[in-house]
Structure 1
Amino acid sequence: MRKGIYILPNLFTAGSLFAGFYCMVSSLNGDYRTAALWILASSIFDGLDGKVARLTGTASKFGVEFDSLADLVSFGAAPGLLMYAWALKPFGRLGWLAAFLFVACAALRLARFNVQVETVESKRFVGLPTPAAASMVSATVLIFYHMGWPVAVGRLAILVLIYFLALLMVSNVRYYSFKDPSLIKKQPFAFLVLAVILLIIIAAEPVIMLFTIFICYILSGPIGFVMTWPRRRRLERALRKGREGVLSGGGRGTGTGGR
């Protein structure tokens, strides 16, 4: 700290924190659509701070800790308050407990990520990332406003969604992190064409497409977990048999040496 801190990446982190705080201000003022947009803005700042730090060689332990604290506000407390004020308040205790569970699971998810960051492969996240969970909350609010649906119609589904997102954050379900270096390498020409078409579709119906993208990403984890379950079970059985074989072989060898 005596040598100073890096300004540029921490400014992006501060921007993410500001966006999360203003989301809470908008939620308290009853402007839920604006609050949802500020969550998306916070996720953009959050994605940029790490990339700026890596590109400029300004990553630091202070930046990591500041980023985690900002994420807890922007992707834990802000969406939790937004959901409670917008849709969960009529449920009473069940509603605010759902909002609190979301905040608590976001904190646990961030703490676990900081502990496992050196031991887990960078291509996969263990548990739903907090920015994705908060962005799903934001997309849900925006799709209701876009379609003109009264929130009373989907309150029960929203309550279930909040519990679902909270549990996914602390689960062992793996999610793609989009940190694969091969993504920025040369790709077939068809990939560029598909990317352009996707951008056109998003520009045509941004709210619907954002909601679709986030819901597909969130469901990709559980679907992948179920599809790979048989393979993981076979691998676990093979490893268990291998350990048992090593232990039994070691036991016989020890016995022979004793005689």
Structure 2
Amino acid sequence: MEGMRKGIYILPNLFTAGSLFAGFYCMVSTLNYDYKTAALWILASSIFDGLDGKVARLTGTASKFGVEFDSLADLVSFGAAPGLLMYAWALKPFGRIGWLAAFLFVACAALRLARFNVQVETVESKRFVGLPTPAAASMVSATVLLFYHFGWPSSFKKLAILLLIYFLALLMVSNVRYYSFKDPELIKRQPFAFLVLAVILLIVIAAEPVIMLFVIFCGYMLSGPVGYVLTLPRRLRLKRAMHRGHEELRPPGKK
């Protein structure tokens, strides 16, 4: 209450409100059967969500109120909104299985956000534990846009979305680590080739935005499991080494 009496920072919370508005309008578009527009508003919400934290850090206006407001907005924009979109667009024909799958996505998004708030001070800032909710929602959005782009049949759509929902829900609550793009090295001087690659990437995205957005979000989604598998031998060796170290430090006669 003391913090509220002193006032709140307007600028970062205004971006959070923009993210919340975009998520709400996604649900409005879904109820109006305008699923393509709904998918675009999820992407707009993720842009606002990415800006609010950066604005707060750059301007030194981060606050406990902003963190809580951001989490509540994320649950609406990246939990409830994509869950409703997926159910109305593809999962409704499955009946109970369909709405339960959509609910699982919403529930896992809530659990992911709650865990993030608890671990925010103890987890490495360069890595997220579990797939971030904006990335999961953006993957849903990119999938909807891809189906509209190619005009794929509804039977394929239903099965693909059902499988995607369970996979995204599992990744959000998993211990798989994802790159957070919060590395300070990213904003420091980089080789000239990096700029050339960035320009080429922008050109490719502009040429085929729907396909490239799907490829980017799909690549990020799969980067966590792939990285987990590739680093598994190293982590197992480290675990065995730590176990041997504990055995050597254990007093004689102790089990």
After TM superposition, is the score higher than 0.5?
yes
CA distance in 2, matches of 1:36, 1:74: 11
Q: Secondary structure at the match of 1:248?
A: coil
Provide runs of 4+ in structure 1 moved above 4 Å. 249-252
How high is the sequence identity, in percent, across the aligned residues? 86
Alignment root-mean-square deviation, CA: 1.2
Bigger radius of gyration, 1 or 2? Answer: 1
CA distance in 2, matches of 1:78, 1:250: 60
Kindly state the Cα deviation for residue 238 of structure 1 after the two structures are TM-superposed.
0.8
Q: Residues 99-143 of structure 1, C-alpha deviation per residue, up to 9 Å, x if partnerless?
A: 000000000000000000111101110000000000000000000
CA distance in 2, matches of 1:86, 1:110: 25
Specify the alignment match of 1:2 in structure 2.
5
CA distance in 2, matches of 1:151, 1:81: 17
Specify the alignment match of 2:113 in structure 1.
110
Matches of residues 1-259 of structure 1 in structure 2 within 5 Å? 1-248=4-251
Structure 1: stretches of 5+ with no match in the other structure: 253-259
- Matched pairs, number: 252
Q: Residues 173-231 of structure 1, C-alpha deviation per residue, up to 9 Å, x if partnerless?
A: 00011111111111111111111000000000000000000001101110111111111
Kindly state the Cα deviation for residue 251 of structure 1 after the two structures are TM-superposed.
5.6
CA distance in 1, matches of 2:252, 2:196: 58
CA distance in 1, matches of 2:185, 2:229: 26
CA distance in 2, matches of 1:155, 1:248: 60
TM-score, length-normalised on structure 2?
Answer: 0.97
Q: Secondary structure at the match of 1:175?
A: strand
CA distance in 1, matches of 2:40, 2:157: 20
Kindly state the Cα deviation for residue 149 of structure 1 after the two structures are TM-superposed.
1.5
CA distance in 1, matches of 2:68, 2:105: 21
CA distance in 1, matches of 2:138, 2:253: 53
Amino acid at match of 2:120: V
CA distance in 2, matches of 1:151, 1:57: 48
Kindly state the Cα deviation for residue 150 of structure 1 after the two structures are TM-superposed.
2.8
Amino acid at match of 1:221: G
Amino acid at match of 1:10: N
TM-score, length-normalised on structure 1?
Answer: 0.95
CA distance in 1, matches of 2:151, 2:157: 12
Amino acid at match of 2:178: Y
Kindly state the Cα deviation for residue 250 of structure 1 after the two structures are TM-superposed.
9.7
Structure 2: stretches of 5+ with no match in the other structure: none
Amino acid at match of 2:146: I
CA distance in 1, matches of 2:157, 2:38: 19
Q: Residues 69-111 of structure 1, C-alpha deviation per residue, up to 9 Å, x if partnerless?
A: 0000000000000000000000111111110000000000000
Amino acid at match of 1:164: F
CA distance in 2, matches of 1:250, 1:134: 55
